[in-house]
Amino acid sequence: MSGVYGFLFQVYPYVCFTVFLVGSLIRFDQNQYSWKSDSSQMLRAGTLRWGSNLFHFGILFLFFGHMVGLFTPHSVYGPFMSASTKQTLAVVAGGAAGAVCFVGLSLLLYRRVFDPRIRLTSHPTDIAVLVVLWVQLVVGLITLPFSWQHADGSVMLILADWAQRIVTLRPVDASALALLPWPYLLHIVFGMTIFLLFPFSRLVHVWSGFATIGFLFRSHQVVRSRRLNVPAGHNNLPREPNARL
């Protein structure tokens, strides 16, 4: 069993993140026409509007919440917030966002599976990704009662230490994670598996969402008139009947 824990929490994270990064790069380079979300709004818009908005609000809150919670060293927030307070805040805020995300994701999954028109136009990976996300979300919600039982924040510190060691390429003690309740372990494995599936699904459109931030910092677009010898600001002058472009 120690060998299984060693693979899942020492080796598997690097396998998933390598496939995530390299696979995304290869797909963008080799098959850019598949780099899209394949919206089915034209087929049925009602449920999509509610499901998509609730899902994206919840999942973005959970994603950035996990990033801050796992990768912020205790020495940064320790002077003004205890580990138990941080865990309580994470449980309350994460539970609310998780409930919102659960409703939205359930609507999207129901729509994808039980709407005949959408089911016929869906790729198997579309349904598979939604199922994996739904299971991951449910397991995450199951961890909430366990977190209340460890209100001192000790579990959160163990998980944060593991995540920070992974991203900084430091040795990881998998035996420390083996002592945690099963929902935490399953939540970690499913989370890493989502990164593994990322390049092979429509999830790649997430990259484009983050890339739009670049528009805030790009230089102004220069627009030039096709009409020659026209002073700036006079591009709307009436064109002569026989004028040529």
For residue 112, count other CB atoms closer than 10 A to its CB: 21
Residue 138 is assigned to a structural domain of this protein: yes
Report d(CA 20, CA 28) in Å as an integer. 12
Q: Is 234 inside any structural domain?
A: no
Determine the average pLDDT of the residues in 158-180: 90
- Any domain includes 157: yes
Q: Are 180 and 7 in contact (CB under 8 A)?
A: no
Question: Does the residue 190 lie in any domain?
Answer: yes
Q: What is the mean pLDDT of the chain?
A: 84
Residue 130 exposed, middle or buried by CB count within 10 Å (0-12, 13-18, 19+): buried
Percent of the chain with pLDDT over 70: 83
- Cα separations in angstroms, 113 against 48, 52, 67, 102, 106: 13, 15, 31, 16, 11
242 in a structural domain: no
* Structure-block tokens of residue 108: 């999207």
Q: Which amino acid is at 239?
A: R
Residue 167 has pLDDT above 60, yes or no: yes
Note down the domain range covering 210: 2-216
Residue 224 forms part of a structural domain: no
pLDDT band at 241 (very low <50, low <70, confident <90, very high): low
For residues 170 and 14, the answer to whether their CB atoms sit within 8 Å is no
Residues contacting residue 2 through CB under 8 Å, at least 6 positions apart: 174, 175, 178
Do 112 and 188 meet the contact criterion of CB atoms below 8 Å apart? no
Asked if the structure places residue 173 within a domain, the reply is: yes
- Does the pLDDT of residue 144 top 60, yes or no? yes
Measured distance CA(172)–CA(194) in Å, rounded? 21
CB atoms within 10 A of CB 120: 8
- The enclosing domain of 26 has a CATH number of 1.20.950.20
Q: Is the pLDDT of residue 14 over 70?
A: yes
* Number of structural domains found in the chain: 1
Q: CA separation (Å) from 185 to 62, 155, 170, 174, 214?
A: 18, 12, 20, 11, 36
Q: Which pLDDT value is given to residue 231?
A: 59
Backbone torsions φ then ψ of 170, nearest 5 degrees: -100, 160
pTM over 0.85: no
User: Residue range 143-151: average pLDDT?
Assistant: 88
